[in-house]
Amino acid sequence: MKKIEIELNERSYPIHLGTMECLEHAGAVLVVTNPKVGGLYLSYVLGRIRAREVFVCTIPDGEAYKTLESVEMILESAFNHRLDRKSLMIALGGGVIGDMVGFASGIFQRGIGFVQIPTTLLSQVDASVGGKTGVNNAFGKNLIGLFHQPKAVYIDPLFLKSLPPREFGAGVAEIVKMAVTFDREFFEELERGDLRDHSFLLEGIERCVKIKARVVAMDEREQGIRAALNYGHTFGHVIEHESGYGHYLHGEAVGMGMVMANTLACGLGLLKESEAERIEKLLARYGIPTRYTIGDVERFYDLFFLDKKSENQKIKFILPEGIGGVAFRDDLSKSMVLSVLEAFCD
Ligand code: NAD
Q: Is the CB of 122 under 6 A from ligand 1?
A: yes
Catalytic residue of the set 25, 66, 207, 212: 212
* 189 alpha carbon – ligand 1 mean position (Å): 25
Q: Is the CB of 64 under 6 A from ligand 1?
A: no
Q: Is the CB of 270 under 6 A from ligand 1?
A: no
Which phi and psi angles does 13 have, rounded to 5°? -155, 160
Give me the domains of the chain, ranges plus CATH numbers. Answer: 2-161 (3.40.50.1970), 164-342 (1.20.1090.10)
* 167 alpha carbon – ligand 1 mean position (Å): 8
CA distance 232 to 226: 14
Q: Is the CB of 61 under 6 A from ligand 1?
A: yes
Handedness of CA 209, 215, 216, 217 (dihedral sign): positive
CA distance 6 to 150: 11
Which phi and psi angles does 131 have, rounded to 5°? 75, 15
| pLDDT per residue as tens digits for the range 89-131 | 999 999 999 999 999 999 999 999 999 999 999 999 999 999 9
Q: Whose CA is nearest to atom 40 of ligand 1?
A: 127
Residue 226 is among the residues annotated as catalytic for this protein: yes
Find the length of the chain.
346
Output the pLDDT for position 328: 96
CA distance 170 to 132: 19
CA distance 191 to 72: 44
Nearest to 286 by CA among 156, 121, 73, 115: 121
* 337 alpha carbon – ligand 1 mean position (Å): 30
pLDDT at 307 over 90: no
Which phi and psi angles does 309 have, rounded to 5°? -85, -15
Q: Which atom of ligand 1 is nearest to the CA of 159?
A: 18
Output the pLDDT for position 141: 85
| pLDDT per residue as tens digits for the range 331-342 | 999 999 999 999
Output the pLDDT for position 246: 84
Cβ density class 248-277: b for 16+ within 10 Å, e for less: bbbbbbbbbbbbbbbbbbbbbebbeeebbe
- Please, what is the average pLDDT of the chain? 96
Output the pLDDT for position 319: 98
* 224 alpha carbon – ligand 1 mean position (Å): 26
Residue 174 is among the residues annotated as catalytic for this protein: yes
* 267 alpha carbon – ligand 1 mean position (Å): 33
Q: Is the CB of 94 under 6 A from ligand 1?
A: yes
Going by pLDDT thresholds of 50, 70 and 90, the confidence category of residue 4 is very high
pLDDT at 311 over 90: no
Q: Is the CB of 136 under 6 A from ligand 1?
A: no
Mean pLDDT, residues 283-289: 97
Output the pLDDT for position 98: 98
CA distance 66 to 91: 14
Mean pLDDT, residues 82-92: 98
Mean pLDDT, residues 235-254: 93
Task: Kindly report whether the global pTM for this prediction surpasses the value 0.75.
Answer: yes
| pLDDT per residue as tens digits for the range 43-80 | 999 999 999 999 999 999 999 999 999 999 999 999 99
Q: Is the CB of 63 under 6 A from ligand 1?
A: yes
**DSSP letter (8 states) at residue 316:** -
Residue 151 is among the residues annotated as catalytic for this protein: no
pLDDT at 16 over 90: yes
Going by pLDDT thresholds of 50, 70 and 90, the confidence category of residue 306 is confident
| pLDDT per residue as tens digits for the range 149-206 | 999 999 999 999 999 999 999 999 999 999 999 999 999 999 999 999 999 999 999 9
